[in-house]
Chains A and B, each alone.
Chain A
Amino acid sequence: SQQGEEDPQALSIQEGENATMNCSYKTSINNLQWYRQNSGRGLVHLILIRSNEREKHSGRLRVTLDTSKKSSSLLITASRAADTASYFCATVLTGGGNKLTFGTGTQLKVEL
Chain B
Amino acid sequence: GAVVSQHPSWVICKSGTSVKIECRSLDFQATTMFWYRQFPKQSLMLMATSNEGSKATYEQGVEKDKFLINHASLTLSTLTVTSAHPEDSSFYICSATDRAWPRDQFFGPGTRLTVL
Contacts and interface: CB of A to CB of B under 8 A. Distances in A.
A59 interface: no
A52 to B, nearest CB: 15
Interface size class of A (residues with CB under 8 A): 10 to 19
Interface of A: 3, 31, 35, 40-45, 88, 98-105, 107
B43 A3 contact: yes
24 contacts: A31-B103, A40-B91, A40-B112, A41-B109, A42-B4, A42-B6, A42-B107, A42-B110, A43-B93, A43-B107, A45-B107, A88-B43, A98-B32, A98-B97, A98-B102, A99-B34, A99-B49, A100-B95, A100-B105, A101-B46, A102-B44, A103-B43, A104-B42, A105-B43
A107 B42 CA distance: 10
A43 B96 CA distance: 12
B103 A42 contact: no
A105 B36 CA distance: 15
B63 to A, nearest CB: 19
Interface of B is mostly: strand
A40 B90 CA distance: 11
A44 B4 CA distance: 12
B113 to A, nearest CB: 13
Given A41-B110, A42-B110, A88 B44 contact: yes
